[in-house]
Structure 1
Amino acid sequence: MSSPLPAAARLAWWGTAWLRGHVVADLVVDAVVDDQATHAIAGLATLGLGGDPTETLLGGLARLRVEGADTIGAAFGVEGDPVGLGGPPAFNAAALEAGEAVVVSGPRMTPLPGGSHVLGLVPVVVGAATTWVASPAARRQLPDVGEADRALRAALPVTAEVLARLEVARWRPEVADRLMNLRHRDPVTAPPGVPARCVELAARGLQALEIVELALEDDGGAISAQEASARAEALRPLARAARHALVASCSPEVWPPW
């Protein structure tokens, strides 16, 4: 079954679990690859970490573990809200274009060219193949899990009220159904080591993003440009809260103790 989690979230959870010895290699491949045919990691050799120009997913992770990595965190930044990204500009630009990325770190991580102890991986998808391209990154400021949780809980009722005033249910009844049944969420499978609170927060973040996606559909031009603009503005806080929830829940740097 396909996972509802984005690729960066799957790599962050399962890659971290493998680096820390919580799961075996086969489980990582099954979880991260999901419905894609192949996943690979490219660019480690260019950064002085050895190996081939392009490694298999496990080969690349093994090389990173040898270099001292023990943490993989996700980023889901967008223009104007680069949450989970700490730079440099080249990495941020690639991550924003892809819509997701991961940041690899560890207390004994081998320094990269320029002195960075943090590595960024951005997914490049061609057909059924995903290649995670490596480049130097920087440490990032992250939303606290509790803060992200509270922000998401606060954004949902406010957004629901505004959407009701805009009569979104008239055009998108699925949105009303989702908002009336927030307790029903797609199950999210996590490896050992991910706090239960973060698993639950990730599931709610994904649910909120689904609501945003459904509500933003243009209905074949059934609404005016003014109505579409008002709807997009109403959904912006919920989309932001959902992305922050996903970043916090998929960033081991800010997880509560397991």
Structure 2
Amino acid sequence: MLSEPRSGRLAAWGNALLGGLVSPDDAVLAVVGDDAVHRVQGLPGESAPVGLTLGLGRLRALGVTGLRVALPAPGHPLGLSGPPEFNARALDAEEAVVAVGAALGLVPEVSEAGPAGDVHVEVVWHCLPVREAPPADVPSLGEAERELAEALREATVVLTRLGVAASGPVAEAALDAYRARAEAGREVLAPGYPPRAVRVLELAQRIALMMDLAVGAGHGGAVAASEMAARTEALRPVERVARRAQVAAYNAYVEEQERRRG
């Protein structure tokens, strides 16, 4: 998990735009990243898909004041509040964005075209009705930070018990890429986010990377299906904590704004 979920980028930079901290062009550039184009389909008042700049402006006009992230998994509707139709679509995509101030949510549909090495990626954000209710199972930043510290210790114990070093050329290359991005001073979150949210997100991403490497680590890069399944099951609680922490970090801007208003 070296790259952010698209829902995380949209929520983070969308929040910065809604807060007047970045320009529309800068926000859209950050959200699109290496993709070719992002569009929004199903916006109230729009009969056809619109570009992301117009889509974000339309959301503001509809009363949206902030954006939250959902990263659901089977049996864990993390960040969702319903209705079932939206939850099912978000679960299929494994991510979604839920608006604050209007009962709307956005689920990405990603399509790829072109030969290897020159893949053209397009993203359509489907705008759907959501239920206005507290999101499921989202911790506070403080809770997430404490859970991550415990998860890191637990992961070390589990990996040692399984005899997994999560090392080798592939693992080292992945870790080197992570360090290079960190040293390059990349913005983990958009302007306006508290430093604690940045710390929590970085640690959650590092733990998620450890999990990915551990599941795939083996002699010569090959792991028997039964062994991979055993590792995945043993590390499931740690993976769950890392996802919860990512959602808490991406949602920190909205939570901070709500505390100030309260």
**TM-score, length-scaled by structure 1:** 0.83
Q: Is the 8 A contact 1:145 1:255 kept in 2?
A: no
Q: Is the 8 A contact 1:218 1:228 kept in 2?
A: no
Aligned-partner Cα distance in 1 for 2:156–2:180: 17
Aligned-partner Cα distance in 2 for 1:185–1:239: 24
Q: Secondary structure at the match of 2:139?
A: coil
**How far off its partner does 1:176 sit?**
8.4
Q: Are positions 1:254 and 2:246 aligned together?
A: no
How many residues are aligned here?
239
Q: Which runs of 5+ in 1 are unaligned?
A: 110-117
Q: Give the 3 Å change call, closer, same or farther, for CA 174–213 of structure 1 in structure 2.
A: farther
Q: Are positions 1:120 and 2:119 aligned together?
A: no
**How far off its partner does 1:95 sit?**
0.7
State the AA in 2 paired with 1:156. L
Q: Give the 3 Å change call, closer, same or farther, for CA 186–245 of structure 1 in structure 2.
A: farther
**How far off its partner does 1:191 sit?**
2.3
> Pairwise CA RMSD of aligned residues?
2.7
Q: Is the 8 A contact 1:78 1:99 kept in 2?
A: yes
Task: Determine which of 41, 54, 59 is the counterpart of 1:59.
Answer: 54
Q: For residue 164 of structure 1, what is the aligned residue in structure 2?
A: 160
Q: Which runs of 5+ in 2 are unaligned?
A: 113-120
Post-superposition Cα deviations, 1:93-112, rounded to whole Å, max 9, x if no partner, equal: 11111111100112xx3xxx
Q: Secondary structure at the match of 2:98?
A: strand
**How far off its partner does 1:58 sit?**
0.9
What does residue range 50-129 of structure 1 map to in structure 2 within 5 Å? 50-106=45-101, 109=102, 118-127=103-112, 128-129=121-122
Q: Are positions 1:29 and 2:28 aligned together?
A: yes
**How far off its partner does 1:222 sit?**
4.6
State the AA in 2 paired with 1:145. L
Q: Are positions 1:229 and 2:229 aligned together?
A: yes
**TM-score, length-scaled by structure 2:** 0.82
Q: For residue 193 of structure 1, what is the aligned residue in structure 2?
A: 192
**How far off its partner does 1:121 sit?**
0.3
Post-superposition Cα deviations, 1:113-167, rounded to whole Å, max 9, x if no partner, equal: xxxxx21100001121000001111232422111111111101111111111211
Q: For residue 148 of structure 2, what is the aligned residue in structure 1?
A: 152
Q: For residue 244 of structure 2, what is the aligned residue in structure 1?
A: 244
Q: Which has a greater percent of helix?
A: 2
